[in-house]
Amino acid sequence: MLSLSEGFIKVRCLEAALALGWTVQEGAGRGPDGDVADYAVLTSGRVVWRRAPRRLRLHEGSSDLAIVDPFEMLLEIKARPDHGTKSQAQFQQMDADVSRVAQSPQCALFFVFEPRIYLSFSGEKSEGRGRPAVAADWFTNIFPRLAAIPYEQWLMVEAHRDSNDLLLGFARCRHPSAADTITVIGARRDSYAVREAE
C-alpha cells in the first residue's frame, strides 16, 4: 500500500528526518523581502515551526522534500502502484525527476513501484497497448529486470544521464498483506550532502 500515495511516503520521510534531529524546509511563497519557507524541527517531542528566508531550492521545478540541517538535500519522490489512479507508467514525470537529480549534486531520488508497473520501466511489460513513451528509453535501458532485484538488499547500478554519472540502488521488499514493493534510490556519483563548516 506504500506505493499508492507519494504524500504518504513524504510524511514517513518527514517523520524519520525529524526523529533524527534534522531540520526540514517547506516552501511558503513570497514575503516582502523575497521567498520564504517554513522550517520544522522536533523539540521535546513536538514539531516546532518557524518562518524565515528560503535557503534551498532547485534552479527549475520543485522537490518533494528539503532537508537543510545538519546537511542540505533535496529529495524527489515518486510512487507507482499496480492499481488505482497512479497505476500508469507516466514516464515523463519520473524522467523529469531523474534529470533534476542528474543536474544537481544536492538532489536525490526515492521511487517506489509495485511489481507489475515496474515491468514497464524495466522493459519487460508484455502488453503492447499504446505507443511507447519517448521518455521510456532511459528507464528500459538502465532498470534491471525484476527477477534480478534481490529481496532486502541493494542491487547497485551505475547510470549516465545529462553528462553526469548516477548511482542507483534497487531493492525488493515482501509485505504480508500487500504486493511486493521495489524501491529505487539514487543520486549523482559526485553528490554532496554534508555542508562544510562555515
pLDDT tens-digit readout, 6-48: 889 999 999 999 999 999 999 877 777 788 999 999 999 999 9
| Contact yes or no for 137/113 (Cβ under 8 A) | no
pLDDT band at 197 (very low <50, low <70, confident <90, very high): very low
Phi, psi (deg, nearest 5) at residue 23:
-105, 130
Segment holding 116, helix H or strand E = helix 115-122
Q: Torsions phi, psi of 6, nearest 5?
A: -65, -35
Q: What percent of the chain has pLDDT over 90?
A: 62
Residue 56 confidence class, pLDDT cut points 50, 70, 90: confident
Reported as a single tens digit per residue, the pLDDT across 104-128 is 999 999 999 999 999 999 999 876 5
The predicted model gives 156-180 an average pLDDT of 92
Please, which residues bridge with residue 157 across strands? 168
pLDDT reading at 84 higher than 80 = no
Q: Give this prediction's pTM.
A: 0.87
Query: Which pLDDT does position 198 carry in this prediction?
Result: 42
Mean pLDDT of all residues in 147-152: 94
Q: Is pLDDT of 131 > 70?
A: no
Residues 95 and 114: their CA atoms lie apart, in Å, by: 18
What mean pLDDT comes out for the span 80-101? Answer: 82
Instruction: Count other Cβ atoms within 10 Å, centred on residue 149.
Output: 23
Look up cell 514575503; give the residue.
31
pLDDT of residue 97: 93
| Closest to 181 (Cα-Cα) out of 108, 124, 111 | 111
Number of Cβ atoms within 10 Å of the Cβ of 13: 17
Q: Collect all residues with Cβ–Cβ distance below 8 Å to 115 and sequence separation of at least 6.
A: 82, 146, 179, 180, 182
pLDDT computed for residue 182 by the predictor: 95
- The three cell numbers of residue 174 are 515482501
Grid coordinates belonging to 72: 542540505
Residue 85 and residue 80: Cα distance in Å, rounded? 9
Cα-based torsion angle of the residue sequence 162, 82, 120, 161 in order, rounded to the nearest 10 degrees: 10
